[in-house]
Structure 1
């Protein structure tokens, strides 16, 4: 269990940020019109204030939009490997009747299942 938790912490703190940034750069490179609008917004902010501050970031909707949208286009949570550490059951909101007529109220998840 400790091994899986440690690998999750390492992956969540390092790989996910790098992966998200990689996808963001890819999408900006393949959509030059978006890249140009975001660049223009940054240049305009620099002309107004001479330098960029964290407050300026909130005032740049066209720069913010691709950053927020990238997580919808390329979600990274699915890359984590999850494994059940104990037997469990996932309750269903509605019963399911199988072709054989068996009524399922929950889905059993055995220990070790991914």
Structure 2
């Protein structure tokens, strides 16, 4: 039976999530820039919905983002991918992702909302 893991946005999040005996969702409180608590090759998908954007806007954002992505790539099972959702333009995001080396990056415009254009990025080890 497969399970899903999630890093909550804040420590109280797991306590607020409704519990159900058949739930397959596990929350683990962890630092997204150090995912060493997870086994290598243990995830088929890493979903990043705005985490990269928040890291890039913080002190040493480039270093934090590099740490998160390096750890995320280590977690991917063969054939796995990272999917990022962001408002950052592909002209800025793709070079940042390609600096990791040995990755393929595909960008897709998702549309505009409130004057902001959103994109999805598919990052796969090559």
Question: Given the two structures, how large is their TM-score scaled by the length of structure 2?
Answer: 0.21
The structure whose residues are more often helix, as a share, is 1
Q: Which has the larger radius of gyration?
A: 1
Question: Given the two structures, how large is their TM-score scaled by the length of structure 1?
Answer: 0.22
The structure whose residues are more often strand, as a share, is 2
